Amino acid sequence: MCLLVVFGLCLSSVVATVEENWPRFLGPDGRATSLDSDLPLRWSESENLKWKATIGAGSSSPIVWGDRVLVTSYSGSGPNVSRTLHCLNRTDGSSVWDFKVDNRGTEDGMQGYITEHGYASNTPVTDGKLIYAFFGKMGVYAVDFDGKTKWQASIGKMSSNRRWGSGSSPVLYKDLLIVNAADEGRALVAFDKSTGDIKWKSEADGYELSYNTPTVVAQHEELVVAVPGELWGVNLKTGKLKWFAQTNLTGNVSPTTILDGETVYTFGGYRSSGSHAYPVGGRKDVTDTEKWYGRSSSYVATPLLHEGHLYWFDDKGMAFCTRASDGEVVYRERIDGLSRGGRPVYASPVLAGDRIYVVSRYDGTFVLPARPEYKILAQNKFSGDDSDASGTPAICGDELFLRTGKFLYCVGTP
């Protein structure tokens, strides 16, 4: 009896520890949500800033596991680019180790959208045992918490017809590490997360210009990814296509799909083509099962789903809220406080408690209420940092971890 009680207490401790982490892009389950967090409303270099650490350029997002914060950056360009996975101490931001990967072979030049997001756009993911970093044409690396390589694998050296570089982040499902190598290999690739062996590969030319991170639908053991003109449901056991739906999201598709129970929402296209809602778990052509289509859409950032509403900032400086049930627009407001137009927001919004935090590229972080009522509660900016902020922040406990092209910041009440 005592043994069972002790085991139960230990198990509860493990579960609580896992829940306190932010292990991947958009956090646990890809919902970008931390309902129990109590983040400050306002911050600056002299208020509610716990620490800042020098990193480097990039638009990837930080992740947090235990007392470690991990984020990627890059320096140089084209054949001279070098990428780094940084491991920092969560308490004070001091460097624990850096894992560097120099360029080998062909790399896209600093052109087009690469000038916007650079060569470190892929957020790492961890299961608490290994850290998995996807570095585009340089491949996939599994690194332990001492910064030592456990395995590495190539996923191709191709480029899209835009030559914009890589954009999606890896995800974990059971014993699989899944990478959307659309740009490098026109494929989804599932690796054995322990060994790096390829378990399956889904190859198709249609993956080109698919920059979104795949969504795991565990109850149907399928993976949902948006590609130009279609939405695909892929079998998680085999990599084979289970179902597809035609969409009007043509051109590049960047926002990650959002799962809510049995419904998946997809956005994007060129330019901001629209948004769709479809049921998951289908077979073959499910186009006719569409729940709704909306004309408003996020172009780059993944919208936030909360209590039946979808929230996002678009590439023209507008704030949107739509009903998830039918796609109807609740509000559409121009954002005061933006110093420039032309894709002012790359980062996805995150939810902490009853507030939404949206990081703009050059004008700081906007804070809005997490309800279908437009209001800017605060606009927070670090005056000494003129670099772009294109990565989605991480939330862990009552701390927010925000990266720019120069620094990683930890925001929280002292």
Token pair for 249: 């999201």
Residue 326 DSSP label? T
Name all contacts of 149-157 with Cβ < 8 Å and 24+ positions apart: 149/99, 150/196, 151/195, 151/196, 152/196, 153/191, 153/196, 153/198, 155/179, 155/181, 155/184, 155/185, 155/187, 155/189, 156/181, 156/184, 156/185, 156/186, 156/187, 157/105, 157/106, 157/184
Residue 376's pLDDT band (cuts 50, 70, 90): very high
How does pLDDT run across 32-50, given as a tens digit for each residue?
Answer: 999 999 999 999 999 999 9
State the Cα–Cα distance between residues 342 and 3, nearest whole angstrom: 61
Q: Which residues contact 101 (CB under 8 A, 6 or more apart)?
A: 82, 83, 84, 85, 135, 138, 141
CB atoms near residue 290 (< 10 Å): 15
User: Residue 108 in 3-state DSSP?
Assistant: coil
Q: Indicate whether 3 pLDDT > 60.
A: no
Write out pLDDT tens, residues 63-74: 999 999 999 999
d(CA 235, CA 188): 11
Length of the chain equals 414
Q: Domain 27-411 classified CATH 3.30.1330.10?
A: no
Residue 15 has pLDDT above 50, yes or no: no
Nearest CA to 20 out of 61, 85, 64, 53 is that of 64
Single out the residue of 39, 167, 32, 180 nearest to residue 113, CA to CA: 167
- Convert the pLDDT of each residue in 260-305 to its tens digit: 999 999 999 987 689 999 999 999 999 999 999 998 888 899 999 9
Could you tell me the two tokens for 164?
Answer: 């914009």
The predicted structure's pLDDT at residue 272: 67
Euclidean distance between CA atoms 248 and 242, whole angstroms: 20
Say if residue 338's pLDDT is above 70: yes
- Going by pLDDT thresholds of 50, 70 and 90, the confidence category of residue 19 is low
Asked whether 376 and 346 are in contact (CB, 8 A), the reply is no
Helix (H/G/I), strand (E/B), else coil: 19: helix
Query: Which of helix, strand or coil describes residue 30?
Result: helix
* Residue 115: count of CB within 10 angstroms of its CB: 11
Which residues are CB-contacts of 40 (< 8 A; sequence separation ≥ 6)? 47, 48, 411, 412, 413
Domain limits of the chain? 27-411
